[in-house]
A and B are shown apart, each in its own frame.
Chain A
Amino acid sequence: MKALVVDDSLTIRRIVVKALGLVGITETAEAGDGTEALRALAGGQFDLILLDWNMPKMSGIDTLRALRQAGQKVPVIMVTTEAEKSRVIEAIKTGANDYLIKPFSPDQLAAKVKSVLGVPTA
Chain B
Amino acid sequence: MDANCINPFIEAVDTVFTTMLHVQPKRNGVRVSQDDENTQDRPGLTSIVGISGQISGVVALRFPPATALCVASRMLGSEISHVNEEVVDAISELVNMVAGSAKAKLACHPPLELGLPTVVEGTGYKLKYPSKSVWLEVGFTSDAGTFNMEVTYNPN
Q: Among residues 52 to 96 in chain A, which have CB atoms less than 8 Å away from a CB atom of chain B?
A: 54, 56, 80-84, 86-87
Q: Is the CB of B101 within 8 A of A103?
A: yes
Q: Decide if B93 is an interface residue (CB 8 Å cutoff).
A: yes
Chain A interface category by residue count: 20 to 34
Chain B residues proximal to chain A, CB less than 8 Å: 15-16, 19-20, 72, 75-77, 85-86, 89-90, 92-93, 96-97, 99-101, 103-104, 107, 109-111, 114, 116
Complex: A66 Cα to B77 Cα, angstroms: 34
The answer for the CA separation of A10 and B86 in the assembled complex, in Å, is: 7
Q: Name A's B-contacting residues (CB within 8 A).
A: 8-12, 14-15, 18, 54, 56, 80-84, 86-87, 101-105
Q: Are B89 and A18 in contact (CB under 8 A)?
A: no
Complex Cα spacing A15 to B97, Å: 14
Q: Contact at A83–B92, with CB atoms within 8 Å?
A: no
Given the known interface contacts A81-B99, A83-B104, A84-B104, the answer about A103 and B15 at a Cβ–Cβ threshold of 8 Å is: yes
Interface centre among A10, A12, A103, A105 (most CB of B within 10 A): A103
Q: How far is the CA of A8 from the CA of B118 in the complex (A)?
A: 13
